[in-house]
Amino acid sequence: MKEIIVSENEQDKRFDRFLKGYLKEASGGFIYKMLRKKNITLNDKKADGTEKLKKGDVIKIFFTDETLDKFRGADAQGCDIRPEADAYKKIGELHVIYEDDNIILVDKPAGVLSQKSQKRDVSLNEWLIGYLLNKGDITAESLETYRPSICNRLDRNTSGIVICAKSLSGARTMNALIKGRNVGKYYLTIVKGHIDKDFSLKGFLSKDEKKNKVKVLKEDPKDPDYSYIETQFHVIRYNPENDLTKLEVKLITGKPHQIRAHLSSIGHPIVGDIKYGASAVKGINYQLLHSYRLVFPKGLDKPFDILSGKEFTAKEPKEFEIFE
């Protein structure tokens, strides 16, 4: 018999949906049959699967170990936390800007992947779980039903603030805010050439997945492969000695490589961004782009009201000293 205590991360899930996720290899018909026969119970009572789970509820699954392993599939061996522990050691300590019970804001260095692109990759997602395991905030067992993850991605060589969800509630709330464009996301960058006034750019972007490169058009091509993009730019200062301009960038939309491609399209590529037409400067051969400021909207509901109207910043990397 397997006993599961419902945590906050399973709270408000429909019981049948939880079971379908937990018993991945079982059919829906089989699960409902087991509920009818009381081989699966909720708080020691017969359930039909439509119940909403609450924190502290007790789920009991009266299967033999062999049957449970069969219907859990790959998860039957338990959660192997070695990749996450290794990622935490390999990447090392990162600056945690803010943390509560639901989210973490992490300052990601350039060179670290946000998410894996290949199985052997080490990314911030694995680091996050390793970090929480090391703190004792989660356990290998809790990872069987919910895995903390990042909510917004930055390119490998773009540094700065990444929003991470510790809880399911945190993931749902942050993802909704990001999707609704309700979180102000500001970047710092350094570009080639002289820009003397603030401006905004609009256009249409399409990504070539094989080349991992995007194309930007000014006019709508009426092609479903293209998405509308909009970016705002504020001039911080121009340095005539090295012909570089430092900009603050605000994302209105958030598409892959949006800032990089938009600036390249007007002849002001980001310093070091070889992919989009720049050249290496003083050994820097990647884009000097830093997600430095995050602003949450006012009026958030509990428990996220502690973030209402709050602003968080990440110190610019030392590579930005190239501007001075």
- 82-179 and 184-323 in the same fold: yes
For the domain made up of 184-323, the CATH class stated in words is alpha beta
| Closest alpha carbon to 247 in 279, 299, 199 | 199
Domain boundaries, the chain: 2-76, 82-179, 184-323
Contact 246, 236 (CB under 8 A): yes
Dmax over CA atoms of the chain, in Å, equals 79
Q: What is the pLDDT of residue 142?
A: 84
Rounded to a whole number of angstroms, the distance between the first and last alpha carbons of the chain is: 66
CB 212 within 8 A of CB 311: no
pLDDT value for 145: 82
Say if residues 308 and 257 touch (Cβ distance below 8 Å): no
Q: Which CATH class is domain 2-76?
A: alpha beta
Give the span between the Cα atoms of 108 and 251, in whole angstroms.
18
Q: What is the chain's pLDDT, residue by residue, as a tens digit (324 residues)?
A: 899 999 888 888 899 999 998 898 999 999 999 999 999 999 999 999 999 999 999 999 999 988 998 998 766 555 678 889 899 999 999 999 999 999 999 999 999 999 998 888 899 999 999 999 999 998 888 888 888 999 999 999 999 999 999 999 999 999 999 999 999 999 999 999 999 999 999 999 999 988 999 999 999 999 999 999 999 999 999 999 999 999 999 999 989 999 999 999 999 999 999 999 998 888 899 999 999 999 999 999 999 999 999 999 999 999 999 888
82-179 carries CATH number 3.30.2350.10 = yes
Model pLDDT, residue 77: 55
Please write down the long-range contacts of 96-101, taking CB distance under 8 Å and 24 or more positions apart: 97/161, 97/312, 97/313, 97/314, 98/312, 99/166, 100/303, 100/306, 101/166, 101/167, 101/170, 101/303
Burial class (CB in 10 A: 0-12, 13-18, 19+), 6: buried
Q: How would you classify residue 43: left for phi > 0, otherwise alpha for psi between -120 and 50, otherwise beta?
A: left
DSSP strand pairing (289-295 vs 184-192): antiparallel
Q: In the prediction, which pLDDT does 279 show?
A: 87
The CA-based angle 24-25-29, given to 5 degrees, is 95
**Radius of gyration for the chain, computed over Cα atoms and rounded to the nearest angstrom:** 24
